[in-house]
Amino acid sequence: MIDFETRDIYDFQQLKSELETCYLSKRSTHLQIKFNIIKQKLSENVKQYGLRIDNLSMELYESMIEG
């Protein structure tokens, strides 16, 4: 966030654009790592685990399309 302290931001659209440029790729990378290491929890049944994987994969897909 230090970078944004030194920039002149004039409107919300510019701020949104700056944040997306800076953080979308980081989010995508974080989700890829999370997806690669996901494991079923001890107290989790197969259906819950599948839903968790499905949600994470949709999040990853959306972040990759946005970025």
pLDDT average, residue stretch 46-61:
94
Read off the pTM.
0.60
pLDDT band with cut points at 50, 70 and 90 for residue 2:
very low
C-alpha closest to that of 60 among 22, 16, 37, 30 = 30
Strands, E, within the chain: which ranges? none
pLDDT at 66 over 90: no
pLDDT, tens only, 7-36: 778 888 888 777 777 666 677 888 888 989
Give the pLDDT band of residue 1 (cuts 50, 70, 90).
very low
Within 10 Å of residue 20's Cβ, how many Cβ atoms? Answer: 13
